[in-house]
Each structure stands twice: as structure tokens, then as C-alpha cells.
Amino acid sequence: MSDDGSPADAPTTGSLGRSVRRKEDQRLVTGHGHYVTDVELPRMRHVAFLRSPYGHARITGVDAAAAREAGYRVFTGEDFAHVALRAQSALPSYVETDQPVLAYEKACFAGEPVAAVVAADRYRAEDGLELVEVDYEALPATVCAWDEPTEPVHPEAPDNVLLQRTFDAGSVSDAFAAADLVVERELVTNRHAGNPMECRAGVALWDAAAGKLTFWNGTQVPHIVRNMVAELMGLPEGNVRVIAPDVGGGFGVKAVLYPEDVALCLMAREMPGIPLKWVEDRAEHLLAATHARDHRYLMKAGFSAEGRLLAVEADVTCNVGAYSVYPWTAGIEPLMAGGLLSGPYKLENYRCTVRGVATNTAPSGPYRGVARPASVFAMEAMFDHAATRLGIDPIEIRRRNVITPEDIPYKMPSRLVDDSGHYAECLDKALDALGYDVLRAEQERRRGTDEPPIGIGVALYNELTGLGRAASAGPRMPFRTGHDACTVRMNPDGRVTVISGVTSQGQGLETTMAQIVADAIGVPYEDVDVRIGDTDEALWGFGAFSSRQAVIGGGAAHNTALAVKDKVLDLAAGLIEAAVDDLRIENGEVYVVGEPKPQISVAEVARVAYLESNRLPEGIEPGLDATRFFDPIRGAFAAGAQVAAIEVDRVTGELRILKYVCVEDAGRAMHPQIVDGQIAGSIAQGLGGAMYEHLVYDEAGNLSTGTLLDYLMPTSAEIPDMVIGHVSHPAANPLGVRGVGEGGTLGPNAVLAGALHDALGIDIDTLPISPASVWKELQ
């Protein structure tokens, strides 16, 4: 570890930094996890949605009479026409549009919900769907974001452009004029999706007498859901309870409030006392949950003869699908692409126009890595291409341009401030682990033989994590996502309950929060229980996105625990008549400085705090609890490098990964296993996107990859063993941590495309990389 930015009060002993047994695992490995789909309540009924079979069509009639006669409760678009989701942003060019709860005037993508049927079970609900007749008048569909639309998706945006912005720094024209080499490429990335193993799900229950709604929802953002559901239904926010129990993966897909969610809540209000359950199936999920990464980059980069990057001019079009998702808007991908395109490289002259374009496809939303798997691919392609043209080693050209620790804080041309700079260190470590020199020698040896050629690819990137209010996530939305709250209660038995605003979809936040609180107070990890995902319990948390929770929720837990520790010490000092400054807590016992034996247990102090007010010292109130917010104000950049060696079968075009290495700066790793698990999992998703996963629409807007037989998710047979390494530079926040959830997805596109360029001299312009596409390039 280095000494820059090391937090003063970071604990040096205890559970942090060790891979303690996860709190979640006992229930999850025994089949006793509790997901929304496992919620079972008296009088429960099941919901199925009727979805548009057209990519774009006017709805001219909905006839539910037959279904109603057969005893089904049916809701149609007209029932909820007074409610719409509207994602807001203060960005000047942004065109606000409404997303209906159930489509009623027209359907804008295939799979958009049009009606809902309620029945005793899901089988019957789907029977009921067959009795609902919808008349459609087909409209011309636009599927590709860089095609001229014949019929706009939204009348408010005749050209389908929902948002456009130009980033401008320095003078690109002067820089290009001075450049020795100008590289131009058109790069297209493939639409794919987060596709968590648990699809979306909700159970809504309206208590009419109390005027209260309870909504179990497999969401990453329960407080954001509560806030908007309350507003849309005209309910006091305190009367809406959102519960996210165990959630089976999210990856951004579940950080969105969907029309189906709102429909379920509105339907529940029409059916008081009857819990309504909707569990999405995979076909629905592929059709109607958010997609991502359908982008085109028109790139132009200028270099000096020495390989110095002089200018980048880019035009980025992101297909945002039929609607601007709540709350992130159509800006989420284009703005991220433009803001971070230059990545970890020094650049003064930058002009980049980004736009979000509506089409008749499923809405795009946040997906792990948001835009950067594509933008890193675009940027690294410039370096790979320039390195070949200038005759510079591809590693060396990156070294000549990368931001170094001496440049920190580095103001990027998009005005984001990079506080990391440890890219070269990550790269060195990654190349070491790869065995770079040996592989280069082997590559050379194979040249001119019949053996499959070897290629080495590299990607450097920065992950913008733990964003505070100064760099809040989201495109100038009506709220700032920089803070989270935490409540810590020490109970009368001395054990601790943490009620945190963080949410978990597999990241092990129960474990991490318990580690943080245990160490901050000085009690054993086993004595801390964590409750998350319930808006009636936790005061506030924005939820899981932007790799924010370790930094922000963790910071809140740490600070709150310290406040409780102070209370314990104050009370203990009174009870044992010692000076509070002489006390310390270790393993649940209070010690006085210089005394080898503990003087009183935390459990006894806690007992006095609640049950023996007769022993309370003067001026000390009963109880041992605290609630605190934390906002890091700025974000913490996490540096990363990925390198891989591949070999390619010239006959089939198939590539085989020989070795894959990732080195990241996660700051201080609170739970090394969880940190490595996040990195390995995100690399696997990145490899899936680079090689297998592709959501394909035909020209009429029909999804032709509607099952997992067509939409290929990588399995254990495709994903290689990976080598994961760390450089651990503590960030400037209470725990010294950097977010680690997304970085892994950023590298694979660039690494594999670069490796193919290195092996065969071919340029990969279109993703995904398939044996067929490589073979075609080779012909």
C-alpha cells in the first residue's frame, strides 16, 4: 500500500481486509433465500401482461369483454391514461417524453405492455390474455439509431433525437493540422443486456383502510421507487413501503422504475386487500427489460510521429430505444460516452458530439459499465491502429499518453477530475502476470509456421465510482445521488443491528456493512446483523448504481458506527469512572489504557443503556443508537488494466483465450473475495458482450433473439480462468475504498479486438466478435 490519501481513522485490525464468511450464504446455499417470487400471501392473485407484437403500431381498439365475461379482471391502457413515467433532466437539448403505464394510443416497441390480466394463478392469467383482443394499425418502425426515421417514435422529437450535446476543449482543427497521423474509424457495438438470472418481479398490496401501499420489488433502488410511486399515486411517501428482499442480480437493469411496476401498484389500489404478484419470464425480460450498448462511434484521432495523442474528434450515436427510462433518461449512455471517451489518456483537444436517439426497440438503460465498454473499445482502437501505422509497440504508445500519478488531479477534456493516475502501475503488474515477454517470443516463433497465431490485447480504463454531490450520477436529474444514510443500533444484549440504505443483488452488502460496523465499534463481526432493502426501516439510500455503495453506504456505516462507539465509551467511562480518552473497545470489551484486562463488557454497557436507568451517569440519555448520512462530495476514480493473449484458428476464425489478466486499483479491499468476485463477474459479462450476446431486431422491430437459445450467455465452458491482481491505493474517503463493481466490463471488447489486430492485422469495427466475423476479415 502507498501512503497517499490514507484515511486517518481506518481500522487496522478486525474483520476488514479478510474474506469473512458472508452473512448471506447460509440461506442462499440451502434454498432458503427469499426473493420476490417466493413471497406468498393470503388471497394472492397473479398478473400477466399482454404485450405488443408490433414494433410500432397505432392501437385502434382494445376489447376485453370476452376475458371479463370469463371472470378475469382486466386492465387496459385507458384505465391508467392519467399516469405516465417522465424522466426529467435539466440538460438544455433534452426532449422530455412520457412513458405510459400501459400503452394506449400507440405501441412503440415489440413487447411493450398493453393490457394486464389478473387471475388465480399465472397459468390462468395467461389463458386470460388470449381472450383480450387488441386492434393494431402497423406503423413504419425505426430500429437503427443512425437511420432516418419515416415515422418518429415521439411526436415531440421528429428526428428521434431525445438529447444531443457537444463536448469541446482546445482546438481540434489546429491539432489535426499539426498531426503526423490522423486515424479514422467507424465502430459499432452490439446491443446486449444485463440479463440477471432472476427476472423482474413485484408483489403489490393496497391496504385501503390505512391508505398504505406495500410493494415487494426486485429492485436496486427501493427509495427511488418509493419516491416516484408515491408521487404518481398521490400518496404520502411515508405510506408507501418498498421492500427489496433477496434480489437475484441487477447489473443496472433493476435500477429503473418500469411501467409494469407502476401498473402493478395502480392495479393493487383497484383491488384492495388482494396482493397482486407478477413474475417476469425470460421471454418478457429479453423483450421489455432495458437493453444497452447499441452505439456507433465515428472516431478521428490525431497523433504525432512519436505517438503522442494530439486530438480526438468523435460523433457518438446511442440507440436509446423507445423511451427515456425513469429516472436515468435517454442521456445516460451518450453523456457517459462523451464524458469518459478519453479515458485514462491525456488529451487537450477534444470535440465530441453525443446523441441519444429514440427507436422502436426496447428502452436502453443503465448496464454495468454504462457506455464505457463501447467507449473504451473506441479509444483503444485508435491506439492499436496508430501503433501499427507509426511502428510503435502497442504497449509503448499507451505509456506515452497515459495519465500518471504526477498529473493528478488531472482535469479531463470533459472537465471530469481524475484522482487516480495509477494506470501504468496496473499495466506493469498485468503484463508481468501475463508473461508478456515469453508470449511475445512465442508469437514471433509461430510466425511463418502452421500453428495458430497469437495476439496480445490491452485496455486501460478508469471507473468513476462513489460519486458525491459534486459529480452526481445521472444527467442533471431533479435529484442528486451523492449520499446514503445508515442507522446503527446497539441492542440491550450488546449485539448490533445495522439498518442501511444500501441494497444488494449479490454484492454481499450485508457482509460488508457488518464488517465496517464491527470494526468501527470494536465488536466481533458475528455480533453484527444487517437489515437492508426496506424503506420502512432504512432512512435513506439511493441504491445500487455507479459503483457507489462501498464508498457511500460504507462511509455512512463507518461514520454512524463511530458515533455509536462514542456513546458506548461515554457511558462506559461513567460506569467505571475512567477518563473517556483512556478507553478503547476491542472484541466487545472495554479496556482502560495501561490495563491488560478489560474493565467492562460492551454487553453490560448496553444493558445499562436500555434496562438499568438507575445506573445511568448524570447527563447520559438511555439508548445506544445513531443515524448519519455520508456524502463523499467528489468521486473516486479506480484505475484498471486488462491484458490477454489469444490464439486464432485461421480456418474457422475461432479465437481461444490463452490467458486473461486484470489488475485494478480497488483502493482498500474490504473483503478480498468479494472484490475479486466483482471483477471476475464483470469481466465475464464483458466477454459475453464482446463475443456472444447480441439482441437483434429485424427491420419491422421484431426481436429475433427472444430466448436464451438465441441470446447466448457465456457459460463455464466459455469463460476462462482469470488472473486478478491489485494495486491498492486508498482513496480519500473514510474507508479508503474505491468502487469495484463495473470496471471488469470495460476491458474485454478492446482487449479482444486489439488481440485480433495484433494476431492477424485485421481491424474489428463491429461487435460482437464471432468466428464468422473474424473469418470474413481473413478472406
**Nearer residue to another protein within complex by CB, 24 or 758:** 24
Q: Which is nearer to another protein, 29 or 305 (CB)?
A: 29
Three-class SS state of 22:
coil
Nearest-approach distance from CB 27 to another protein, in angstroms = 8
Query: 303 pairs with which residues across the strands?
Result: 181, 309
Please check whether residue 625 is in contact with residue 606, taking contact to mean a CB–CB distance below 8 angstroms.
Answer: no
Where along the sequence are the contacts to another protein (CB under 8 A)?
A: 19, 21-22, 24-33, 35, 37-38, 40, 123, 194-199, 246-249, 251, 279, 281-283, 505-508, 673-674, 676-677, 680-685, 707-709, 713, 715-719, 721-723, 744
Q: How far is the CB of 312 from another protein (least distance, A)?
A: 32
Q: Which residues pair with 484 in a beta bridge?
A: 541, 630
Question: Which cell numbers hold the place of 30?
Answer: 440451502
CB-wise, 233 or 719, nearer to another protein? 719
Q: How far is the CB of 683 from another protein (least distance, A)?
A: 6
Burial (CB count <10 Å: 0-12, 13-18, 19+), residue 58: middle
C-beta closer to another protein: residue 353 or 673? 673
Within 10 angstroms of residue 81's Cβ, the number of other Cβ atoms is 13
Beta bridge partners of 84: 100
Alpha-carbon torsion 534, 538, 539, 540, what sign?
A: negative
Least separation in angstroms between CB 297 and another protein: 27
- Give, in degrees to the nearest 5, the angle at Cα 737 between 735 and 742: 150
Within 460-551, residue ranges assigned H as helices are 509-521
DSSP reduced 3-state for 268 = helix
Q: How far is the CB of 19 from another protein (least distance, A)?
A: 7
CB of 181: closest distance to another protein in angstroms?
Answer: 38
| Residue number, 249 or 574, with CB nearest to another protein | 249
CA 668, 670, 672, 677 dihedral sign is negative
CB of 26 to another protein, least distance (A): 8
Nearer CB in complex with another protein: 420/511: 511
Residue placing its CB nearer to another protein in the complex, 326 or 660: 660
Question: Which grid coordinates are listed for 225?
Answer: 421507487
Smallest gap from Cβ 50 to another protein, in A, equals 18
Q: What are the Cα distances from residue 191, in Å, to 53, 228, 237, 361?
A: 20, 28, 36, 10
Is the four-CA dihedral 467, 473, 477, 478 of positive or negative sign? negative
Residue 309's nearest CA partner among 342, 339, 336, 338 is 342
**Buried b / exposed e across 12-51, counting CB within 10 Å, b at 16+?**
eebbbbebbebbbeeeeeeeebebbbebeeeeebbbbbbb
Q: How far is the CB of 336 from another protein (least distance, A)?
A: 22
The values of phi and psi at residue 313, to 5°, are -120, 130
Nine cell digits for residue 361: 426497440
Nearer to another protein, 279 or 464 (CB): 279
Instruction: Give the shortest CB-435-to-another protein separation in angstroms.
Output: 13
Say which residues have a Cβ less than 8 Å from residue 305's Cβ, sequence separation at least 6. 180, 181, 390
- The least CB distance from residue 282 to another protein, in Å, is 4
Q: How far is the CB of 273 from another protein (least distance, A)?
A: 21
Report, in Å, the least distance between residue 126 CB and another protein. Answer: 10
**DSSP track, 87-120:** -----TT-----EESS--SEE-STT-EEEEEEES
Q: Is 199 helix (H, G, I), strand (E, B) or coil?
A: coil
At closest approach, how far in Å is the CB of 363 from another protein?
Answer: 20
Can you tell me the distance from the alpha carbon of 193 to that of 291, in angstroms, rounded to the nearest whole number?
A: 5
Question: End-to-end CA distance of the chain, in Å?
Answer: 50
| Pick 89 or 678: Cβ nearer another protein | 678
Unique residue bearing C-alpha cell 495519465: 403
Compute the distance between CA of residue 600 and CA of residue 602 in angstroms, rounded to an integer.
Answer: 7
Three cell numbers written together for 485? 444514510
Indicate the residue among 35 and 540 with the shorter CB distance to another protein: 35
Contact by Cβ (8 Å): 141, 701:
yes
CB of 709 to another protein, least distance (A): 6
Alpha carbon 318 to chain centroid, angstroms: 18
68 burial via Cβ count (<10 Å: 0-12, 13-18, 19+): middle
Closer residue to another protein, CB minimum distance, 126 or 534: 126
Q: Of 19 and 601, which CB lies nearer to another protein in the complex structure?
A: 19
Shortest distance in whole angstroms from residue 272 CB to another protein: 24
Contacts of 378 (CB under 8 A, 6+ apart): 185, 187, 297, 299, 314, 341
* Minimal distance, residue 24 CB to another protein, in Å: 7
* Number of H-type helices and E-type strands within the chain: 18, 30
Q: Is the dihedral of CA 267, 273, 274, 277 positive or negative?
A: positive
Comparison of 121 and 586: residue with beta carbon closer to another protein: 121
Measured from the CB atom, the residue of 11 and 194 that comes closer to another protein is: 194
Query: What distance in Å separates the CA atoms of residue 67 and residue 129, rounded to the nearest whole number?
Result: 8
Identify which of residues 337 and 502 has a Cβ nearer to another protein in the complex. Answer: 502
State which residue, 27 or 411, has the beta carbon closest to another protein.
27
Q: Which of 427, 376, 374, 447 is nearest to 759 (CA)?
A: 447
Min separation Cβ 281 and another protein, Å: 5
